[in-house]
Chains A and B, each alone.
Chain A
Amino acid sequence: MERLALTKLNNKEYMIPERASGSFVFDLATANDEVLIRINNSSNVDLLLLNLKDGNNIQFEVADNVYLNVATLGKNDIKTFKITANVGYKSTFSAYFADFIHGKVKSDITINLNKEGGTCNWHLASLSMNKDNKEFDVSAYHNAINTYAQLDNYGVCRDEGKLTFSGICKIINGSHGSKAHQNAKIMVFDELSNGVAKPILKIDENDIEASHAAIVGKINDEHIFYLTSRGLSEEEAKRIITLGYLKPILKGFSDDNMVQEIENLIEGEM
């Protein structure tokens, strides 16, 4: 599938025009560390971000009535990066982040739902292994009425890997009709690995709906029993349960090569 390029405005700013519809690609390797991407009104965009790099500070200005799906793969060594999205009227910011970065990582992801009807669907699948130490701070701020955020963070840690999911969902006073759902799940493989999930809700308004769930733990023995009772070996059972944490991220990737690359990473590492 042919993907369109973003329009370059200057050394920092790029944009997708009004009412654009289609698949786009942006190669971060060719740009400054700091980039601002404007998605203009009424566009419907599937954006593939390539080559996320250390020190990236990426800001999305999502205008009104936009549907934006961003998919990206993190790999190799990245120490810090930052993603911010400012979401406009009745716009959706949907993001899929497949994390196979190695080493010590600190990230900061902030979604500001600044106007009525703004929606954020955030999905992260993260693998922490071989003494990786990663922290994903994913926060959503409900600054307007009828805003919606669903933050799903899934991770697997093994072989002395450490993984932390933090971040807050904040609904400010007056943002009635808003909904915030945080969901953090980490599967910890062995005693030397460490998973921490601490989703925080801050609610300053009554007429809202909010939930948060955090599950950190070993593979459920009942699940292993179920699968082995059908003839799968214990190793195979553990493998497919683990894949179940990571593979759903592929839903957000429409690029066949990228899907293949992530599948190879998942299958290869597990």
Chain B
Amino acid sequence: MSTLVIKNLHAEVDGKEILRGIDLTINEGETVAVLGPNGHGKSTLLNVIMGHPKYIVTEGTITLDGQDILSLTTDQRAKLGLFLGMQNPSEIPGVINSDFLRAAVNAKSEKPISTYQFYKVLDKATKELKMPFDLATRSLNEGFSGGEKKRNEILQLMLLEPKIAMLDEIDSGLDVDAIQVVADVIKEEQAKGIGFLVISHYARLFDLIQPTRAVVIVNGKVVIDGDPSYIKRIDQTGYEFIKTELGIEISKPDNNMNTVSIGSCAVKDAIK
């Protein structure tokens, strides 16, 4: 049983503080829905957990089963069983998808998988995802449609079998049938006991995968960590209640930056 524990996490990007004290625990076997207005730090949180070099942690801790992971490299975190399905997966020209997938599978296992075994697993997974097999033989994500990229993320989830899987808007760009296909895979992985942290703006995916908890991130903080009924509420009424009931002002992420730039213009004018 794995547990990811985040305590008082502060992180910044380009000198701007985005996460302002996140507290969150995810247990293996749990599915946590993550919601929140645009630009309030959801993707940043997942990137920080995975160790993206652009984001600087200034305070707080993240542990997986008691082990500090902030001191680990991204690949070490992956090997410990963390997985991030990205909001915008990179397109990497010239790198053949199946070569990459195989290298990733091999990175996790003690001895390399045989060609036969690998293609068997790959064939099964692509069929389940209703992915054309030729996507495996093309350059990694290059020229993939939005939905194909997202399926390719799920394909990697299936092949890598993490302990905790984080999915960042995996449903954006997926057609209705594809959401069903992806949800079916998530349900299978849930049954194996994998923990999920799933960001989405839409109730449809959550209806299908039945989260055990809902978390709302506003202003770089967890403002709600409660039962999944919040998903429906937000879907129907938006985030207004956060202000009216919790008294939390939802900041527009760009406000700070504007005042700074107006300030410096004013200074320039004054000098002239």
B238 interfacial contact with A, CB 8 Å: no
A216 interfacial contact with B, CB 8 Å: no
Leading 10 A-B pairs by shortest Cβ distance: A244-B94, A231-B107, A231-B78, A230-B104, A228-B74, A244-B95, A226-B90, A228-B75, A223-B90, A222-B90
Alpha-carbon distance A233/B104, docked complex (angstroms)? 10
Which residues of A120-165 are within 8 A (CB) of B? Answer: 154
Q: Is the CB of A231 within 8 A of B75?
A: yes
B44 interfacial contact with A, CB 8 Å: no
Which residues of B sit under 8 angstroms from A243, Cβ to Cβ?
94-95
Binding stretch for chain B, among A69-77, A204-212, A234-242:
A234-242
B25 interfacial contact with A, CB 8 Å: no
Which residues of B sit under 8 angstroms from A28, Cβ to Cβ?
none
Q: Is the CB of A230 within 8 A of B95?
A: no
Q: Which of A231, A236, A248 contacts B94 (CB 8 A)?
A: A248
Alpha-carbon distance A232/B100, docked complex (angstroms)? 9
Q: Is the CB of A247 within 8 A of B94?
A: yes
Which residues of B approach A to under 8 Å, CB–CB? Answer: 50-54, 73-75, 77-79, 83-84, 86, 89-90, 92-95, 99-100, 103-104, 107-108, 139, 156, 160
* Interface residues in A, total, Cβ within 8 A: 25
Q: Which of B50, B53, B156 contacts A221 (CB 8 A)?
A: B53
Which residues of A146-188 are within 8 A (CB) of B? Answer: 154
Count, A-B residue pairs, CB within 8 A: 77
Which residues of B sit under 8 angstroms from A229, Cβ to Cβ?
50-51, 74-75, 77-78, 83-84, 86
Q: Which of B52, B83, B156 contacts A225 (CB 8 A)?
A: B52
Most chain B CB neighbours (cut-off 10 Å) among A225, A226, A241, A246: A226
Alpha-carbon distance A146/B89, docked complex (angstroms)? 38
Main secondary structure of the interface of A (DSSP, over half): helix
Which residues of A sit under 8 angstroms from B160, Cβ to Cβ?
230-231
Q: Is the CB of A232 within 8 A of B53?
A: no
Given A231-B108, A247-B94: A240 and B73 interface contact (C-beta under 8 Å): no
Q: Is the CB of B103 within 8 A of A232?
A: yes
A10 interfacial contact with B, CB 8 Å: no
Given A220-B90, A233-B107: A227 and B73 interface contact (C-beta under 8 Å): no
- A selection of 11 A-B contacts at a CB cut-off of 8 Å is A222-B90, A225-B74, A226-B86, A226-B92, A227-B92, A228-B73, A228-B74, A229-B77, A232-B103, A232-B104, A245-B93
Which residues of A sit under 8 angstroms from B79, Cβ to Cβ?
231
A247 closest partner in B (C-beta): B94
Q: Is the CB of B93 within 8 A of A244?
A: yes
Which residues of B sit under 8 angstroms from A240, Cβ to Cβ?
95, 99-100, 103
Q: A231-B160, A232-B103 are in contact. List 10 more A-B contacts (CB 8 A).
A: A225-B50, A227-B92, A228-B75, A229-B50, A229-B78, A231-B107, A232-B104, A234-B75, A240-B103, A247-B94
